[in-house]
A = this chain, B = another copy of it.
Amino acid sequence: MQDFTSLIQQTVKHAVANTVKEMLENCKFEGDHANTTFAKNLFLANKKKKEQMYLVIAVHDTEIDMKALTTHFKAGSGNLRAGDEAVMEQILGVKKGAVNLFGILNDTDNKVKLVLDSRIVAAERVGFHPMQNDATTSITVSDLHKIIELSGHNPEILDFSSLQSEAAPSGEAKQAPAKKAPQAKKTEEKKENAHQLGIEYTKEQNFSKWYQQVITRSEMIEYYEISGCYILRPLSYFIWESIQNFLDPRFKKNGVSNCYFPMFVSEAALSKEKDHIAGFAPEVAWVTKSGKTNLPEPIAIRPTSETIMYPSYAKWIHSHRDLPLCLNQWTNVVRWEFKHPTPFIRTREFLWQEGHTAHATTEEADVMVLSILDYYADCYKELLAVPVIKGRKSEEEKFAGANYTTTVELYVPSNGRGIQGATSHQLGQNFAKMFDVWFEDKAGQKQFAWQTSWGFSTRSIGAMIMVHSDDKGLVLPPRVAQIQVVIVPITYKDDDSNTILAKAEEVYNSLKAAGVRVFLDDRENYNPGFKYNHWELRGVPIRLELGKKDIEKGEVRMVRRDNGDKAQMKQEDLASEIPHMLNKIHNDMYERALKTRDEHMKEASTWEQFMEALNAKNIVQTPWCNVQECEKKAKDKSKEESLKIMEQAGEEEEVLTGSAKTLCLPFQPQTPLVAGEKCFHCGEEAKIKALWGRSY
């Protein structure tokens, strides 16, 4: 046996535990180890081919379907079942009832395959206890990996909840489940229940799988039977409501009224403006039937509402006195894209606001466009703690039909992509001319109105998650967290748990009175460690731990989700300190994101520098000629070179597109353009600084 004295471990002696329930009741770890996840350990073997042996380390309540496991290991010749006790003692050096991870160290010939529950890997600490034993040892998962490394085993990490669908005949798992008797359904449902699962992928190594797990396991998103459509669960919809509460009063203060236009539009109206519709046509969803009746003409669902709203603007606007006309609506829109859908970021139905204004002069329209852009930037900064770069879109990237498009652009760490946060368009008189939106000015002259349109969508929630969240799950900026503070009372069997719970309620009430969104997790069926993981996964900004010793000292242990910092706080200071701490967390999150973004915003003056920076997951500012053709060529060239590099590297990470494009022409470039600088790509005279990146 090796010497493990260097392990960060804690061993607890406890009463004999005959069941998992008793084990959970009898065995309590303290301090850092309070969040220990309890494991069960199974030694299995193939019924016929007995040399096929497995040591399975799973979370105590993970349901293990032996049939599905048999299928998974293609042990077709015989089902898996409990291995022979004598063999086990010989190889692992443990007796029945004492199976545990440490035994794998005795398997020097690597006869036993080690199988790790993905939920174990996602835990912070794991407690190994042999069933019916009276002691349990808790170690960190990091130390668990060290032990396995020492043992020379290459473990298979397995998501037991996915075994069922893996085992099912192809396609069946995707079908609507047939109605089952409760008895039959139980197992399947428990497996489907992801709410106790942690994150198995890391943000750095497999960004897209990490993202998918973060949003589903935190209970922000539920996948839905229609591809590209997702359910916004309360945790994420709360963020959307926070965004509405932030933006809506600002719009109104700026003279904008809310309204609602129908979501249907006739083919004739939709197609009126050819350039505008060209971009949307392939994505338009068409209603052609009601009940069993074919409609006389197909009717489109809005992909955006210019063609729905502007005919009314033409009716309503006659005189300069009718201007400005400033309307906004909070709606759903549908763009039936065929690209790979990504929840929040690219979905077939999404929620947004779309503002549409008409003004008497181009200057007034300019002012509107920029005030709105400021609101958008403020919303990212003040609410979502995400830094943005304000700028103008290039000719290639602007909204079709706009005079110019302004944008707020974000940087996504780990995958190095840029992402468009929201846009505000100055439409000039282009749409007014198409839709006959004109007025009589003060001199009695007919003038076409100057229009703007601007939108902010649920995509922002996805961008926020990508920026802040980590390998433990969601990290929510406090201002959009439905629960800002969770209180976890730490009660042991021999403690006076009533005293602790009473104190926890006291803390709860004082924080609630201070306007903090606080939740007291007094569930009796989960241990503190489980609760820590539960709330960390869901991104709750502050955890307050309240144990016997804390109470004796009149203190509470505060743990920050964003950086893991821990501190003891005086109970009487909480009502004043926590609101400050929430603001501090917000600011720290913003500053950290800004620092990361700035570290990954490089400057390049040559193509080689540019590609090098790009491939190192940066966004890049360059001197640029501002010619549309140059951008097109740079796009193509970057794509080709990226493909080559990918082929050479055999890179496995999925890439949505390898090409770079301008994210924007920043209003405030990192360094100003110097006279005589050349375009980094075509070598012609540079006219402006452009920000480039691979983009969502």
Contact = CB atoms under 8 A, between A and B. Distances in A.
Interface of A: 176-177, 179-180, 182-183, 185-186, 189-190, 192-193, 222, 224-226, 229-234, 237-238, 240-241, 257-266, 268-269, 272, 281-292, 298-299, 301, 311-312, 314-316, 318, 321, 327, 331-332, 336, 348-349, 351, 434, 436, 438, 446, 448, 482, 523, 525
Contacts of A266: 176, 225-226
A301 B262 CA distance: 14
A262 B230 contact: yes
A265 to B, nearest CB: 7
A301 B284 CA distance: 15
Nearest to A301: B287
Contacts of A182: 436, 438, 446, 448
B262 A231 contact: yes
Contacts of A316: 222
A302 to B, nearest CB: 11
Contacts of A234: 257-259, 327
23 contacts: A176-B272, A179-B436, A185-B438, A189-B314, A190-B318, A193-B318, A222-B315, A224-B262, A226-B262, A226-B265, A234-B258, A234-B327, A237-B258, A238-B257, A264-B349, A281-B291, A283-B291, A284-B291, A285-B289, A286-B289, A286-B290, A289-B298, A321-B523
Given A226-B266, A237-B260, A318-B190, A231 B312 contact: yes
B281 A260 contact: no
Q: Is the interface of A mostly helix, strand, loop or mixed?
A: mixed
Copies of this chain in its oligomeric complex: 2
A260 B351 contact: yes
Contacts of A258: 234, 237-238, 241
Contacts of A482: 257
Contacts of A291: 281-284, 336
A561 B299 CA distance: 42
A281 B289 CA distance: 11
A248 B666 CA distance: 40
Contact of A286 (B185, B260, B288): B288
Given A234-B258, A237-B259, A312-B231, A290 B299 contact: no
Contacts of A177: 436
Contacts of A241: 258
List of 6 A-B pairs having minimum Cβ-Cβ separation, nearest first:
A290-B336, A234-B257, A229-B262, A182-B446, A282-B291, A286-B289
Contacts of A230: 262
Contacts of A315: 189, 192-193, 222
Contacts of A448: 182
Contacts of A176: 266, 268-269, 272, 311
Nearest to A438: B182
**Interface-centre pick from A233, A321, A434 (highest chain B CB count, 10 A):** A233
A262 B349 CA distance: 7
A634 to B, nearest CB: 29
A291 B334 CA distance: 12
A349 B263 contact: yes
Nearest to A312: B222
Contacts of A225: 265-266, 269, 311
A300 B271 CA distance: 24
Contacts of A434: 179
A446 B186 contact: yes
Nearest to A257: B234
A231 B257 contact: no
Given A225-B269, A237-B257, 18 more contacts: A176-B272, A182-B446, A186-B446, A189-B315, A193-B315, A222-B315, A224-B261, A226-B262, A229-B264, A234-B257, A234-B258, A238-B257, A241-B258, A260-B351, A281-B291, A285-B289, A288-B288, A289-B298
A179 B226 CA distance: 40
A383 B230 CA distance: 35
A180 B299 CA distance: 25
A305 to B, nearest CB: 11
Nearest to A194: B315
A602 to B, nearest CB: 39
A232 B257 contact: no
A482 B299 CA distance: 33
A262 B321 CA distance: 41
Contacts of A292: 282
A260 B347 CA distance: 14
B318 A189 contact: yes
A287 to B, nearest CB: 5
Contacts of A192: 315
A246 to B, nearest CB: 16
A314 B291 CA distance: 28
A532 to B, nearest CB: 18
Contact of A259 (B180, B226, B231, B523): B231
Nearest to A288: B288
Nearest to A347: B262
A25 B233 CA distance: 61
A333 to B, nearest CB: 11
B226 A264 contact: yes
A285 B287 contact: yes
A240 B329 CA distance: 12
A258 B238 CA distance: 7
B290 A289 contact: no
A277 to B, nearest CB: 11
A196 to B, nearest CB: 11
A299 B226 contact: yes
